[in-house]
Amino acid sequence: MMKKRYQPIVYKNGKRYFYRFSAHQRVQHVILFTSVITLALTGFPLRHAEEAWAKPLYYLMGGPDIAPLIHRAAGTVLLGLFIYHTIYWMVGFYKNHIVKLKQNNELTIANFFREVLSMEMVPNKKDLLDIIHLWKYLLYFTNRPPRHERMSWREKFDYFAPYWGIPILGPAGAALWWRDEISHIMPGWVLNAAYIMHTDEALLAVLFLFFVHWYNVHYSPEKFPAATVWLTGYLNEHDMIHEHYNEYVRVMIECGFEDDIKPQNFGGEEYEW
């Protein structure tokens, strides 16, 4: 969205790096994971109060008097970020897509939805084909991994995970926070529902982040101990080829490096990610 300020390719120590995320987006990610980790550290000792680790961790986070305050503050930050981010992409969408349509006098409902579907985070048919292709590759039916565009289906799933998690966790958390006030307008069993929504969706979110997201950015052999793209905003050529080959070729041609385009099995490792 704010792409124009960033070079598609930069050089550092003679190596190519490909633009992924703007500083604005990276700051949002830092706020996101800081608040989520804080929420998990102040919430899960309560969820698993009977485990041996729960009490020391809970008291480290402030105990029964302070930890709930921290939890609620972090929840407010996360909900604020969620709303901010939604406005952020809507403004970007308006600037980059709607204004162009307006200028050309092409703003119809069909065109509007076409533009919505063309946004980089929206899942499309290629993502489905990529998933099928990936399974073919993983089961040794082909030697070519899928070629992803700028955003792979996994990144799209990661992106939409908060969009399904926060609308469940946020209102349920708010209901449990203002349980006395809400009982004037809603029956008490709503809190029973909110309790299950809040604790079980949180478990799903944390398990997904810990096992799947952290595998993608921490544990997987080529990323261990940590990927750096969330800090620098730029991805190295090796990972770019393995993770976003279509985008790689596209950017290389756009920048005039067509003859330098490396094959997909560059480096001899034919894996994906």
Partner 1 sequence: MINRLPVSIVMQLLLVLFSLSISPIIIAGDELNCALCHKHRGLSRINNEGEFRLFYINQELFESGPHRRNKCKDCHTDIDRIPHNPAKPVDCTQMCHVVEPSGNKKFSHKSVANFLEKSAHGKLDKNGNPKPHQEDYPSCKSCHDQPFYRPFSIYKGKKIAGISERAISRCKSCHTSGDFAEDFYEHVTTRLHKSRYSVETIEVCAKCHQDEGFRKRHKLDDVITSYKETFHGKLVILGSEKTPDCIDCHVVAGENTHLIESQDSATSASHKNNVSTTCRTSECHSSAGPMLASFQTHVTYDRLKYPMQFYMLLGFKALMAIVLYFFLTLIFFELLRRLFPKFSFFKEKKIDDYDDILNEIKAESGSTSNTDKSSQNKSPDNAQSLEDIVRGKKD
Among candidate residues 205, 195, 256, the one with its CA nearest the CA of residue 37 = 205
For residue 120, what are the CA distances in angstroms to 66, 110, 156, 159?
41, 18, 8, 11
* The binder of partner 1 chosen from 13, 87, 140, 225 (CB under 8 A): 140
Interface with partner 1 (CB under 8 A), residue total 77
* The binder of partner 1 chosen from 12, 83, 118, 258 (CB under 8 A): 258
Among candidate residues 30, 33, 22, 65, the one with its CA nearest the CA of residue 46 = 65
Does position 32 bind partner 1 by CB under 8 A?
Answer: no
Residue with Cβ nearer partner 1 (73 or 131):
131
Count of other CB atoms within 10 angstroms of residue 94: 11
* The binder of partner 1 chosen from 79, 139, 172, 225 (CB under 8 A): 139
Range 55-94, binding partner 1 (CB under 8 A): 55, 58-59, 63-64
**Closest approach of partner 1 to the CB of residue 120, in Å:** 15
Tokens of 138: 């993983």
Does position 271 bind partner 1 by CB under 8 A?
Answer: yes
Does position 268 bind partner 1 by CB under 8 A?
Answer: yes
Query: Binding segment for partner 1 among 49-57, 70-78, 107-115, 226-234 (CB under 8 A)?
Result: 49-57
CA distance 32 to 165: 13
**Closest approach of partner 1 to the CB of residue 167, in Å:** 14
**Closest approach of partner 1 to the CB of residue 87, in Å:** 26
Range 150-179, binding partner 1 (CB under 8 A): 176, 179
* The binder of partner 1 chosen from 27, 186, 226, 231 (CB under 8 A): 186
For residue 9, what are the CA distances in angstroms to 121, 220, 234?
21, 25, 8
Does position 180 bind partner 1 by CB under 8 A?
Answer: yes
Does position 125 bind partner 1 by CB under 8 A?
Answer: no
3-state helix, strand, coil in the chain (%, to 5): 65, 5, 30
Binding mask 223-252 for partner 1 (x = CB under 8 A): ----------------------xx--xx--
CA distance 188 to 179: 9
| 36 touches 209 (CB < 8 A) | yes
| 30 touches 246 (CB < 8 A) | no
Residue with Cβ nearer partner 1 (28 or 265):
265
For β-strands 9-12 and 15-19, DSSP reports them as antiparallel
